[in-house]
Amino acid sequence: MVTENIHIPVIRENSINAGSNDVIDLTKFVTYEEIKELPSYPAKMLIDVREPKELEETGRIPTSINIPLKVVTETLELSTHEFVNRFRRLKPTIWTEVIFTCRSGKRAEDACEMARNLGFKNVKNYKGSWMEWAEKEGLKK
């Protein structure tokens, strides 16, 4: 009987080992068109992780709520009652589609990681974030 050594890559929750040192990111991204349609999907949650001052200077994407990056973890750990009182929106469950946005997508990716660490299963990054939104909507960047 011949026995072969078979290499089975270890799969982490948001990445896969594709080769010796290559890691492919499995983060899910959303497009401008998907963000544009969010008013038709109120069960999805768009969270802008920029600082409030940034939103005052530029504006915000409709339907988004503001949770600055530095408080994402503690805010997503609030009780349902506290979350509703603060945001007037239902608190997302671990299965809710939660989309993070920021200025250019970097902080949104950090927020995705924070949410995944809390057990959220359906987190996505609007990688174009405010810069793309503003450009396509003709707004101040």
Catalytic residues, by residue number, are 102
DSSP SS3 for 98: strand
Q: State the pairing for strand pair 23-25/15-17.
A: antiparallel
- Characterise 9 by phi-psi region: left (phi > 0), alpha (psi -120 to 50), beta (else): beta
- Give CA–CA dist 98/38, Å, rounded: 11
- Give CA–CA dist 23/141, Å, rounded: 33
